[in-house]
Each structure stands twice: as C-alpha cells, then as structure tokens.
Chains A and B, each alone.
Chain A
Amino acid sequence: MSIDTVAAAQVSPEQPQPFAELGLKPDEYQQIRDILHRRPTSSELAMYSVMWSEHCSYKSSKVHLRQFGEKVPKTDALLVGIGENAGVVDIGSGWAVTFKVESHNHPSYVEPYQGAATGIGGIVRDIMSMGARPLAVMDPLRFGPADAPDTGRVLPGIVAGIGGYGNCLGLPNIGGEIVFDSSYLGNPLVNALCVGAMKHEDIHLASAKGVGNLVVLYGARTGGDGIGGVSVLASETFSEGGPTKRPSVQVGDPFMEKLLIEATLEVLRAGLVEGIQDLGGAGISCATSELASNGEGGMHVWLDRVLLRDATLSPEEILMSESQERMCAIVRPDRLPEFMERCAKWDVEAVVIGEVNASGRLTVDWHGERIVDVPPRTVAHEGPVYERPFHRPPWQDALQADTTDHLERPVTGPELRETLLVMVAAPNLASKSWVTSQYDRYVQGNTVLAQPADAGMIRIDEATGLGVAIATDCNGRFAKLDPYAGAQLALAEAYRNVAASGATPLAVTNCLNFGSPEDPEVMWQFAEATRGLADGCLLLGTPVTGGNVSFYNQTGAIAILPTPVVGVLGVIADVATRTSMAWTGAGDRIYLLGDTNDEFGGSEWANHVHGHLGGLPPRVDLDRERALAEVLVAGSTSGSFVAAHDVSDGGVAQVLVEMALRAGTGATVMVPAALEPFVFMFAESTARAVVVVSPSAAGRLVDLCGQKGVPLVEIGVVSAAPELDFADLFCVSLDDLRREHERTLPELFG
C-alpha cells in the first residue's frame, strides 16, 4: 500500500485527485491548493472534504445563522454562546446547564435502528464535551403518513434504536414529538436533544492549550464504519487490494458509551483535562483540527498510534472514520498516568496520539512519513461560505390564498361529537404511549415531568429542588404557509409549554430541517425561518445557544415541509411547584386564557379531516405569549393552579380530552357565547392555555390575568362524572375518548 506524503505531493502537482467524488467543487479544490501552495495529499484531501461538507462547515447556512449571534437579547444567563459544542446557560446557585438538539435524519432512513441509536450517542457526547453530566434526552421525530408501508419499516426501528441505546445509558427520555406528514415519507426526521448540568467551575471547552500537552484518544477503537458513504476512499485510488465499500452508517455500542460517560466525568472532576472534544462527524479530522484551531494553533499527530478495530484501514480512512463512542482530551504530561488509570478503571482504552505545539500547523505522520501539514483554521473554521441565491416561491401566494373558508365544518352536536372522536384518534393527536412506553423515563430518579406532559422536567439539585424544563415543537405546515411566522410559532409553542409546566423560559436551541439549499425556494424558506426565529428570540428575551442545520431532506424535487424544530429550556427554582396537566377535584373551575379566533390555516383539523393545507397560519403575538407565560409561571409558583395545559395542535377540545384522560374524571364544558362551537373546540389560535383552579383561587387568577393584560373566559367545571359534557351540544364518555385516543398507534405498529 503506497502512502501519499507531503513530499510526494510537492513533486507531483499534476496528479489527478478524486475531489469531485469526495463532494468538493472545482473551486473548493483550487482553494485548498491555494492554501497549501501545492496539491493536497490524499489524507489532506480527505480532511478538507469532510470538514468542508455542508454537515460540518455550515457553508450554506452560516450567513443566515449569524443573526442568532447578532440579535442577542439582553441576558446574563448565557455563559457559553454559539460556536462551541453546545451552549451553556446559568440557572443560578452555581449551576450551569447545557443543552442541544441535533439531527440524524439520513442515517436513520438508511438504517433506522442504528441511525437513531447513534443520534442519541452523538448528542450525549456533545453535552459531555462541555464538562456536563448528561441528565436526560428527548426526541423530536417526523415520519411519513402513519399508514404508509415504509413508515411501518422506519418508525418501529427508530423507536427501538432510541430506546435500545438511550435506555442503556441510564438517561431518562422525557419528551419530544412524533408528527406524521406525507412530505417526510423517504425523509424521516430524527432529531435528538440532550441536556446536562455542571457547576460553573466545571465548564470545559474544546481547545488544545499548553505547548507540550498531550492529545489522548479514548473510548472505542476506530473502525471502518461511518465513512460518509464515500466509497471512493476504499477504491484503488487510496488502498489497492484493501477492503471495499465500507458501511456508511455508524454502529452504536451503548455499553461503551456508558463507560465513556463515567470515565469522562471522572477525569473531568479530577481536574485531569485541559480541553476536551467529542468525535462525531468527520471523526479525528474534526477533533484534531478544531482542538488545534481553538488552542495554541499547533498540533502534531502520530496517526499510526490510533487503536484500530481493523488493521487494514488506510490513514485516509482513519482520519474520516465516524466510529462511535470516542472522545479526545488534552492532558498535561504529569497528569497522564492518572488519566490512564481512571480510564482503565472503567475498561476504557486510551492512547496518546499527539502533542500540542506552537508550530501553527496541524501535522500528521504515518509510520514516520508526513501525510498532513495544514493550517488548522483553514480546515476547521475557514471553509467556504456561500451566499446561496433564494427567492419567494411563485406558488406561495396561491397557497396562502387557498384558505380554509370553503371547508365543510361540523355544526350540530352529533357532528361535533363525531369530529372530536375522529380528531383524538388522528395520528398526530393520538396517544403516543406506544412509543414513549419503550423509553425509560424513570432512571436517575429526577424526572418530575415526562411525556405526555407539556414539557419534560428534571430536578438538578436534590437539596434545593432547582430544576429545568424543556419542550421542543414545530408545526411544519405552519412553516410551509409562512416560514417566518412558522419558526416563531414553533418558538412560541415551546416557550408556552415550558411556562405551562411552571418554569421560566431562558434559552433556545434549534434543529433546522430543510430541503436542498441549492433550490432557491428552499433557501428562501430557510432564510425566512432563521430570520423569524432570530427576531422572535430577541423579542422573547431567550437567546439561541446553539443548534444544528440539516439540509438535503428531499426526495427528487420534493422537499420536506420546512421544519425548524425549536427547543426551549426553562428554569424552576423548586420543582415541587410544577404544574401538571391532570385536574383533580370536582368543582374546580376551568379557564381559557388568551383570544380564540377563526384560525384554521395549517391546523390539524384541516389536515386530518380535509387533507387541506393552505391559507395563513395563526397570527403570531409574541408580546401576548410573554404576558401569558408570566401568568402561567406566577400562578404555578404561588401554588394557585391545580392544572395547566398549553393549547396548540387540535385546539381546546384536544386539551380538554388530554386533561380529562390524564385525571380520569370529566368536566362540564360551556362554549363562550361569542364563539361558534366548532371554532371554540378546534381553532389553533396561539398564546392560549387552559388553566384549572379551585373556586377559592379563581379571583386570584382573574386578578393576575388583569395585571398582565391576558384575557380569560371560564369554560367549564371539573365534574365527578367520567364524561365530557359539552352543555347543550353533546356528551361523550371518557371510555369512548380513551378508546379512540389510544388505539391508533398500537393498531398501526403492533
């Protein structure tokens, strides 16, 4: 096997190189030649190609993502902002929280179980690399139509993968979303969120500081899995006679990850680590170039020291391998023995692969020959940036003009009852317990709220009850009708969900799932959504701390619904004051906060009953969202609420059904005089919540809403009867509702 060295590259400038097969454009290849003043070696080409890929470099999205850093609201909460592995937020009492959501869409379509499993593994390592103990995970998921044969292949595998991996790590799964839409057939979205906590002094960053410090690679051995589907690397160009066609989907080993978590936390707590970085996309290429770029600027790596699963791997493959469960630490030489000892305690293999120096270059040797010699910033941070052209799609006006006005609406009591039973069984509104019962929500003993609650909530500090709540949301139909508003509606819903649980919203993460950035219409959706989200975060005072972009989610010319998934994190001083969605005592009074309008564009009713998508999404009112959140948090903190629930998909009717089924007791419901019963039940107007209070606390709720300028109307009374009685219209038993609500997923997926 001949090795392409720097020396060889200098004397063979004309040697043809497979840059196009590696995904580089001719001008990008030329840019690399200009940087190096020679042709790259095959190893260098491998590094640049993966690091300059859309996935690693954000080259199409960077110019838009900048807004998240520019439109930052005034806050003292942000300890580490955008650009690191994950943002870090101050939650008080010396505690810091880090959280992030990331996509694993494409691998999960190819191999659902491993794709979803390694998505969890990757985001957990991101959180660890900030110095935090991972505490919980959530999974926002999108699938094709629930009854499509391919959904039957993809969904059970993805759910089993999330459970199979997450359950073995000892991290509770506290929420997420499951949404079905035909646009996701062939492009399921598997986003994974992890939250972790640490004391302020334990925050770590990915930087290689201190000349003479050692670069330690530890965890699983490096194998040939996950080499970006770039089969050219296994072709004769690089390793004649070597193995061909590596699998491009990584294979996860949760047991190894669990050991890696424990070993990492031990070495961090013992103060043995100067800098730390996880190995995810682009593997060793990414870890070494980012560490060097963020630190002293120089690093030397002896690549032949990397422990391998397969001794026949070429240096290019080792540099690009995305084998899971690996981490990279910068360790002082005098602390190395203890570092190695602690890894050994957890049966985690570790090896010194390099050293920090002041050369300003990242150099890599393979058995004594120099195969890489590059300025690390050009690999990690100074990749190409594109101002992709974008324009408003010509069909956007027609889509918005096609309103829901002509759709036939239920009017009579029996019609409304029938619609309600159909809606609660709709795949997007039906009970998701078939999925969530495959996830461990109890492990660690700190889960205060989990699915199907509005937000997941965990206790961070057992002594004081300090905790955090997280919700993720996005209605892609709203985003299709108006991407700017759609992103703000996603933000507003997650924000409202967190507030409904009693926590104060503090910070935002996002996972922006879109079609091809090379399609100007998709790029317009992306540009509008990022602008909307940045403006929204500024208005609500919740900074974006980080996130992820996933492009190319499309089959042929058909892109997915634009899906900017937004995660909001909130803090709660004492989790004992949280508000759940289950009402309790008969006689308690049910209020609807916020204004209900005749808004059905993009609603679940239009979608499920009529298969219609058109018109405008519900109006965004972030000032009102903020006021509503203040009411929800104040009422929860003071203990005056019995229950609260955010109103979103499916409208007030869905909320009442979920609250009743959770409690096991019903209610008498009064339709406000000003509203058409159908609009009251199913409209998806925003900035609304249902709040239940005891009769004695009703006055306080009315006063609180008055102070904050939030309108409210009494809509019912909790009863002892097992039924929802929509006075004068119809009555439906909880048994009927439960049967319809709970049967959909088990019938489809077994």
Chain B
Amino acid sequence: MSVRVGVVTFPGSLDDRDAARAVHIAGGQAVALWHGDDDLRNVDAVILPGGFSYGDYLRCGAIARFAPVMRTIIERASAGMPLLGICNGFQILCESQLLPGALTRNDSLHFICRDQRLRIENTSSAWTSGFINGQEIVIPLKNGEGGYLADERTLDALEAEGRVVARYLEVNPNGSRRDIAGITNERGNVVGLMPHPEHAVESLTGPSIDGIPFFTSVLKSLVSP
C-alpha cells in the first residue's frame, strides 16, 4: 500500500494540483483535502500548498489558519505527523505557530519568480532526509511575501539547533534574515519552505528535478520510521 499524502485546497490555493503531481511522481498517493472538512481521510502526511488562500486578506495565511481542516492538522502534526508548508503553506504554518517567525513583503517590494539556488542544511527532517548535507539544488521560487523574519534569539536558536533546512545561495531574493529559505520544528516533522520543490519534479517543466527528494524523503520516513 502506498503512503497517503494529503494536499489541502483552501479557497485561493494555486499549487495544490502541482503538489499532488509531485507526490504521485515520488511514488505516493495524493489525497485531496478540503479546507472546510476536518476529516483528514486517513492520510499519513499533509502538504499545505502554495497560493493565496483567502486572497491573502488580512495577512498571508492568517485566515487559513482558522479553517476547520487546520484544527485536525495542527493536532496531528503536534503528535508527529509529517507536515510540509510550501510558500503560502509556510506562511500558514507560521500563523499557526507550528513554526516560529513570520514571512514579510519582499525587500524589493516586487513579486519575484526565479530559479533559485539553495543549500540543504538539515537532512534529518521528515522532508529532507533524502538529501546529502550541504547539497546544492535549484528549484523555482515565486512569492511576494517571502522575507523570513524572526527575532535574533529565535534565529540563533534555529541555527544552534540545526533547524535551518535550506538557505538561499548567490542571491537572497526577498530579504530573508540569514538567507533562510526553510526551517523545521524541534521534532523535525513540520517543515516550512518558501521555494517550490513541487515545480522541480520533471525536467520538461521545471529548471531541474531537484525537488523530488522532498517528497521521496517523507514517503521513506513513513515506510521505515
């Protein structure tokens, strides 16, 4: 039986089908989850995809955090279920306080879409165990509010505990503190990532296939925990 990975659709989610495709390419079974339904349909892991949930009204992710489906997701993630938030999903994870800090308007004040080089710096999380430590990858980045911000103490703690999952190389595209592109929680099951691994799973449509290990990592961790 293949691993079931839920992909949540909020009103305004855009990359939900892409996340489902990535799960499928990695060998898992993608399960559509609806924001208004608190039933997680027996999934083993969940992805909060990119987009503009609820039109980014109020603040990115601020309304989605209160969706019925998030109640169950927060509960399960607190108990160890792997949970990946990509872009808007990362914003929702910060709003839900599953991850520290916040994502703010890009320092350029422009939306930016580019092929971004990253260095993977944590290979023990549920979503990054398939990488080699220090591995450099190129995946798309596309956001208007992707500047990672936290107070110095939190940033120091993230660094000290090895919870910076990925860092921007060559260009810091959005003014993120300490070039942070993604982080994880203490337990390593919840990961927030600003760039989009689900858009780098086919050489035909992506700049690379460097995004695949994020999805194979979680499938592997669930089969042989």
Hey, which bits of chain A sit against chain B, CB under 8 A? 160, 163-164, 167-170, 253-256, 258-259, 346-347, 436-448, 459, 462, 575-576
Contact = CB atoms under 8 A, between A and B. Distances in A.
A97 to B, nearest CB: 18
9 contacts: A160-B110, A167-B111, A170-B15, A255-B52, A436-B113, A445-B21, A445-B202, A446-B205, A459-B204
Interface in B1-44: 11-12, 14-15, 17-18, 21
A289 B142 CA distance: 42
Contacts of A346: 11
Nearest to B52: A168
B55 A442 contact: no
Given A253-B55, A346-B11, A445 B113 contact: no
Contacts of B111: 160, 163-164, 167, 438-440
B192 interface: no
B205 A443 contact: no
A713 to B, nearest CB: 32
A442 B11 contact: no
A437 B113 contact: yes
B199 interface: yes
A437 B112 CA distance: 5
Given A259-B11, A445-B198, A446-B205, 11 more contacts: A170-B51, A255-B54, A255-B55, A259-B12, A438-B110, A439-B113, A442-B205, A443-B199, A444-B17, A445-B206, A575-B204
A469 to B, nearest CB: 14
Contacts of A253: 55
A253 B56 CA distance: 11
B57 interface: yes
B71 interface: no
Most chain A CB inside 10 Å of its own CB: which residue of B14, B17, B198: B14
Residue among A170, A445, A575 facing the most chain B CB atoms (10 A cut-off): A445
A442 B140 CA distance: 8
Most buried by B among A170, A259, A436: A170
B113 A440 contact: yes
A438 B173 CA distance: 12
B18 A255 contact: no
A490 B12 CA distance: 37
B142 A445 contact: no
B178 interface: no
A93 B14 CA distance: 27
Contacts of A576: 204
B17 to A, nearest CB: 7
Contacts of B204: 448, 459, 575-576
Contacts of B142: 167, 440, 442-443
A347 B142 CA distance: 27
A444 B11 contact: no
A255 B57 contact: yes
B205 A445 contact: yes
A359 B12 CA distance: 42
B114 interface: yes
Contacts of A442: 113, 140, 142, 196, 199, 205-206
